[in-house]
Amino acid sequence: MDVEIIDEDENPMLHRTDVRFQLTHEEATPSRL
Q: Which domain holds residue 18?
A: 1-33
d(CA 8, CA 19): 5
Q: Which of 32, 23, 20 is nearest to 1 (CA)?
A: 23
Looking at the DSSP bridge assignments, the partners of residue 20 are 7
Query: Tell me: the pLDDT tens digits for 1-33?
Result: 899 999 999 999 999 999 999 999 888 887 887
Give the per-residue pLDDT at 15.
Answer: 95
Three-point CA angle 3, 10, 20, nearest 5°: 25
| Cβ atoms 29, 9 nearer than 8 A | no
Give the per-residue pLDDT at 33.
Answer: 74
**How many structural domains does the chain have?**
1
Give the per-residue pLDDT at 25.
Answer: 85
